[in-house]
Amino acid sequence: MSIKTATLNGVATIEIARPEKKNAITQAMYRSMAQALEAATADAAVRAVLITGQPGIFTSGNDIEDFMQRPAGSESPAFGFMRALIGCDKPVVAAVTGAAIGIGTTMLLHCDFVYVADDARLAMPFVSLGLVPEFGSSLIVPQLMGNVRAAEKLLLGDPFSASAAVEAGIANAVLPATEVLPHARRVAERFNALPPGAVRETKRLMRRARNAATLETIGIEGGVFAERLLSPEAQEAFSAFFEKRKPDFAKF
């Protein structure tokens, strides 16, 4: 099982657990995460959701083999997961140690609280893979940090540190790696003492304006992303990854 779920003391935890592949997320894993989020949203006993990875790796992003094998025209189960995340009306807290790549960073843009270890490295290297940003990141990242700093992350795909994530408003705080998960859990558990209706309505109000624009952007990005997946540029990037060589984009 590559996604572990557990509900304890009002907190539903979703743990990405595929360390042998650096927590790369497969289609089946997206489905499990979507189900867990939907179950948490529906369960009155759950007051908050906690998303985490393994010590030293949050996730290396979408499984690149799945990217290569996706049939044309099919919607990735990543959409179901991200819709469930964006639609979750309970607070979602993320605890990140190590790398958070691709959708690993994108999903943080839709969490309510994000705690990062001092060893965390975030990156959205979609262009390097012949792809484009996804799930609202082409809108949200420039809004958060301004166009020129967003260009470093989205056009060049430069990784950035935990403190840069805090500075950009993507994360709340940098903590020692061993403190991240316990701290995130303590924050999630605080919602046991708060009135759930007021929390739910406040989250809805905070997201109202942004969600309309985000959902529209997700549709547009999704169409371009699906085309890019089939592009010769992306095929070259995926092959290069598994052949452990540098991609050659000079021929395009």
Cα–Cα distance, 24 to 166 (Å, whole number): 24
Q: CB-wise, 99 or 120, nearer to ligand COA?
A: 99
Single out the segment in contact with ligand COA by CB under 6 A; choices: 18-26, 45-53, 182-190, 224-232. 18-26
| Residue matched to tokens 């990242």 | 141
Q: CB-wise, 19 or 176, nearer to ligand COA?
A: 19
Cα angle vertex 182, ends 176, 184, to 5°? 90
64 binds ligand COA (CB under 6 A): yes
Beta strands 92-96; 121-123: pairing state: unpaired
Single out the segment in contact with ligand COA by CB under 6 A; choices: 21-29, 30-38, 108-116, 224-232. 21-29
247 binds ligand COA (CB under 6 A): no
Single out the segment in contact with ligand COA by CB under 6 A; choices: 3-11, 17-25, 190-198, 212-220. 17-25
222 binds ligand COA (CB under 6 A): no
Rounded to a whole number of angstroms, the minimum distance from the CB of residue 179 to ligand COA is 23
Q: CB-wise, 52 or 60, nearer to ligand COA?
A: 60
- The residue of the chain with the least Cβ separation from ligand COA equals 102
154 binds ligand COA (CB under 6 A): no
Q: CB-wise, 92 or 129, nearer to ligand COA?
A: 129
Cα–Cα distance, 104 to 82 (Å, whole number): 11
- Chain residues binding ligand COA by CB under 6 A are 21-22, 24, 60-65, 99, 101-102, 125-126, 129
